[in-house]
Amino acid sequence: MLQNICVVLVNVSHPGNIGSVARAMKNMGLTRLVLVEPRAFPHNEANIRASGANDILEKAKIVATLENALVSCNLVFGTSARHRRISWPLLGLRQCGTKVVEEAASGTQIALVFGREDSGLTNKELQQCHYHVHIPSNPKFSSLNLGAAVQVVSCEVRIAWLIAQDQSSKLEKNEVASTKNSELATVDELERFYKHLEQTLVAIKFLKPEKPRYLMARLRCLYGRSSVSRTEINILRGILTETQKVVDSASRKRKD
């Protein structure tokens, strides 16, 4: 189950924090680490701070963008403490741990995404996440070290995992649901759908690029919480393709 979960770090500035994260992951039984454009890695400071979790650093995957990091993932949890205009599905730590374990148990590929030490994740990056996760720290001193943040979230995941081991009946239900959940659309498939959707909405003049009014962000939120399957994505993209054909045909007739 835990092998279906990866930790994604975006633009880490200090290599020591990568080592701290690796140690926190190994403490909680997580092994898959993905680094999005780290400023300095590999680095000796990361090895020192890993303190025995160097195997995780050695197997860490390095990519250029968050979109690349989420290829083949089905469900993405992004940590954020900032207020945003658009309401997004928000989970507390205990809810996050339970949700991650329930989904991972049925084969769903999970990503836990953590942002930059100084500024976290951008709004655009947060929109690539299905859920946002809030760590209820002291509001008067809410800033957490990156390694500590990963430790807290991964600890909740492990607690939920340990509870799940004692609930055999719940595991059996997850096995029945595994076929359906394994067919969920991946993040990269959803991204291609969103681009196709945006192009079509512009073509039918429902979306005005000069005045988008958060339309695509709201649609991302809608589809992101719907657990869209690959079959459903193909149906939706088929509808978009036929819509574009009608628009193109009408455009040619006007020109004639």
Sheet holding 5-10, edge to edge: 61-63, 32-36, 5-10, 110-114, 75-79, 131-134, 90-92
Strands (E), 11-109: 32-36, 61-63, 75-79, 90-92
181, 210, 243 — which closes off a domain?
181
By the 8 A CB rule, do 131 and 77 touch?
A: yes
What does the block give as tokens for 32?
């898959």
181, 208, 235 — which closes off a domain?
181
Domain shared by 162 and 228, yes or no? no
Q: Give the separation between CA 226 and CA 221, rounded to whole angstroms.
A: 9
161, 181, 201 — which closes off a domain?
181
What does the block give as tokens for 135?
């760590």
Residue 59 has pLDDT above 90, yes or no: yes
Q: What is the pLDDT of residue 47?
A: 97
Overall domain count for the chain: 2
Residue 200 has pLDDT above 90, yes or no: yes
- Averaged pLDDT, 129-140: 89
Q: Give the separation between CA 15 and CA 46, rounded to whole angstroms.
A: 5
Residue 172 has pLDDT above 90, yes or no: no
